[in-house]
């Protein structure tokens, strides 16, 4: 088993971060949190796929990234920092989380096959 930390939730945007009292950009906060995780022997983080290239560049390819908020096609919903499945793969995400993209699909089997076509 490998311990993982959570960086910045995909539902949060820059305004939310400021309202929480952080005086930095999301990218800076993610870097700060990843640094703390790495220093405390945490094997990786849950983060937006948007931040993955920077995380890998700063903390190494072996630093695990789990990316929620993944969509097969770009959609606007309650998540602020989402990525398409294709972008998550290109950005180097180690693990992807597809929740409602599958569970809210009209044809779950068809959606799973579509997802598989990207990753297999």
pLDDT at res. 108: 92
Tens of pLDDT along the chain (120 residues) come to 999 999 999 899 999 999 999 999 999 999 999 999 999 999 999 999 999 999 999 999 999 999 998 988 766 666 778 899 999 999 999 999 988 888 888 999 999 999 899 887
Per-domain residue ranges of the chain: 4-119
Residue 21: C-alpha distances to residues 9, 17, 25, 68, 78 (Å): 15, 7, 11, 24, 22
Thinking of the domain 4-119, which architecture would CATH place it in? Alpha-Beta Barrel (3.20)
Query: Which residue has tokens 């990207």?
Result: 118
What are the DSSP calls for 109-120, one per residue? HHHHHHHHHHH-
Closest to 45 (Cα-Cα) out of 58, 30, 57: 30
Residue 74 has a pLDDT of: 62
Q: Which two tokens stand for residue 103?
A: 């569970």
For residue 39, the surrounding DSSP H or E stretch is helix 26-39
What global pTM score does this model have? Answer: 0.88
């Amino acid at each position: 088993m490998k311990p993982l930390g959570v960086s910045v939730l995909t539902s949060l945007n820059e305004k939310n971060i400021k309202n929480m009292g952080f005086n930095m950009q999301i990218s800076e906060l993610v870097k700060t949190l990843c640094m703390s995780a790495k220093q405390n022997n945490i094997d990786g983080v849950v983060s937006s796929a948007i931040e993955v290239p920077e995380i890998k560049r700063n903390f190494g390819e072996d630093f695990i990234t789990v990316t929620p908020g993944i969509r097969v096609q770009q959609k606007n919903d309650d998540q602020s920092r989402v990525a398409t499945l294709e972008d998550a793969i290109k950005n180097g995400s180690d693990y992807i989380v597809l929740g409602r993209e599958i569970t809210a699909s009209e044809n779950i089997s068809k959606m799973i096959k579509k997802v598989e076509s990207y990753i297999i």
